[in-house]
Amino acid sequence: MSIINNINKAFDHRIRLGIMSILMVNDYADFNMLKELLGATDGNLASHTKALEKEAYVKVEKQFIGRKPNTRYSATPLGKAAFQKHIDALEKLIGR
Amino acid sequence: MDSSKYLDDISEIKNMMSRSSRFISLSGLSGILAGIYALIGAYIAYLILYPSDWKFDSYQDIQMALLAVATAVALLAIITAALLTFRKAKKSGESIWNTSSKRLLANFLIPLLTGGIFVLLLIRLEYWIMIAPSTLIFYGMACLNASKYTLRDVRYLGITVIILGLLSAYFTGYGLFFWAAGFGVCHILYGSLMHFKYDRK
């Protein structure tokens, strides 16, 4: 029962799982990098990043590179801890 | 929920972690070909340096001939690597110019260019004896540094080449042979390893 409790509903989707995986191993990733790696549409990706932002698992920074607006994402310490817990729970559930 | 979904999740996590931080489309075949070019180049250099039918009028001619061989080998190797890597990336759907490939290139080029400049300075001072060891050591360092952003095997190639470089600094006068071993044999060895491990799927 306790293991199931560690499965985090916020990560129960391929795109959100992917976003967090990428942000675990990279200091930050911009919108286009996430889009390319995950093969998601703009709207789809935006709604999933917003959901993670709401949970305070990712931090969003908007800036300008030259004249082009650039949105970059990074995982918060809270997000990293929550995702690690999620991974541990998954591994236990498949018996590793 | 069934455990196959959890298994899928885990493999997706692993896949995204490695794809986002490492450039994995590096072609093993290009390593093998680079090694073959290097061995051919070393053989031509051997004919130039050691008694053979090839006669040169002056030291300067010999230097120019060696430089031409080295440049040709390097250019061929770079072009081959770029073409084959481009092909492999296209096949696997990875874009060739993304964050990981840029990071890989920058981390490879910084030690390599440092080595290039250092070797030019050695040539200026006519420290011929240290040129082969320096090229090997700096190339090894470049591979070692780049390996954090690509396939792990590049790390072992780097370490092997660094050791060969240090050995060639001790056994001076055999520069060409260490050069053939480091750039030729090692590339063929690790290139085949990578080719059979990743490419033939």
pLDDT in tens, A37-90: 898 899 999 999 999 999 999 999 998 888 888 899 999 999 999 999 999 988
Q: Is residue A96 part of a domain?
A: no
Asked if residue A70 is part of any domain, the answer here is: yes
Structure tokens at A40: 């998601």
Q: What pLDDT sits at residue B160?
A: 97
Closest-CA distance of chain A to residue B3, Å = 6
Q: Would you place residue A96 in the very low, low, confident or very high pLDDT band (cuts 50, 70, 90)?
A: low
CA distance A42 to B126: 59
Q: What is the ipTM of this complex?
A: 0.84
Whole domain around residue A32: which residue ranges? 2-91
The structure tokens listed for B17 are 């972690």
CB burial of A16-42 (b: ≥16 within 10 Å; e: otherwise) equals bbbbbbbbbebeebebebbbbbbebee
Query: Domain with A35 in it: what CATH number?
Result: 1.10.10.10
- Report the C-alpha gap between A96 and A94 in whole angstroms: 6
In order along its 201 residues, chain B shows pLDDT tens digits of 567 788 889 999 998 998 888 888 888 999 999 999 999 999 999 998 887 777 787 888 888 898 899 999 999 999 999 999 999 888 877 778 888 889 899 999 999 999 999 999 998 998 989 999 999 999 999 999 999 999 889 999 999 999 999 999 999 889 999 999 999 999 999 999 999 988 775
Tracing tokens 């060739």 back to the chain, one arrives at B96
Q: Which residue among B3, B9, B19 places its CB closest to the CB of A37?
A: B19
Total-model pTM: 0.81
Nearest beta carbon to residue A26 from set B7, B14, B21: B21
Q: Could B16 and A33 be called an inter-chain contact, meaning their C-beta atoms sit closer than 8 Å?
A: no
Contacts of A22 in chain B (CB under 8 A): 16-17, 20
Tens-digit pLDDT profile for residues A20-37:
999 999 988 989 889 988
Interface membership of A88 toward B (CB under 8 Å)? no
Element housing A58 (H / E): strand A58-65
Across the interface, do A36 and B7 touch by the CB < 8 Å criterion?
no
Let me know if residue A55 belongs to a domain: yes
Nearest beta carbon to residue B12 from set A18, A26, A95: A18
